[in-house]
Amino acid sequence: MSESVERRTEQRLRYNWPVWFAEDFNDILSQGQMVDVSSRGAAFTCNADKCPHFGQHVTTRFSVPYYDSDDSFEMANFIREGNICRVEDVSPFFRRVALQFAEPLTFKPGEKASEPTEAVDETAESDKTLESIGM
C-alpha cells in the first residue's frame, strides 16, 4: 500500500459558499460552490458545461469567513486571479477545480487570524473593484 506525502504547507478551510468565476470578469460570470480555501488557492465544484480547463487563467470572486480573536467572524470578500492547476470529474455533470491564486490572501483562512485589520482592508479594496466593474 502506498503512502501519500502531504505537500500542503497550511491548513485549508473547508466550507460551502458560492464562488463566481470567469476568464474575463467583463463577460458573463459562472457560479461554483467552494470546497476549500487556503491563502494560496481554492478548490470549488462547478457544472461540467461551464467548467474552466487546466491551465486557464480565471478571475474569481468569493467570500471567506474571517475569525476574530473572540471566536466571532465576519465574511471577508475577495477577487483573485489565478490559474487552474487541476480539474477532476465528480460526476458526468460536475467537476472539481483547483485554482492557484496569482496573489495570496492576506490571511490563512484555515487558521484563526490574529489581526482582523488585514481582511477589512482587503474587503474594502474588493468592494471598490466590484463597483468599478458594475457589480
Binned at pLDDT 50, 70 and 90, residue 3 comes out as low
Nearest 5°: CA angle at 25, between 98 and 121? 80
On the CB side of 94, CA atoms within 13 Å amount to 11
pLDDT of residue 135: 47
SS3 28: coil
Q: Which position has the higher pLDDT, 127 or 91?
A: 91
- 119 pLDDT more than 90: no
Domains of the chain: 13-130 (2.40.10.220)
If you write DSSP's letter for every residue of 70-131 in order, what string do you get?
TS-EEEEEEEEEEEEEEEEESSSSEEEEEEEESS--SS-TTS--S-THHHHHHHHHHHHHHH
- 35 pLDDT more than 80: yes
- 91 pLDDT more than 90: yes
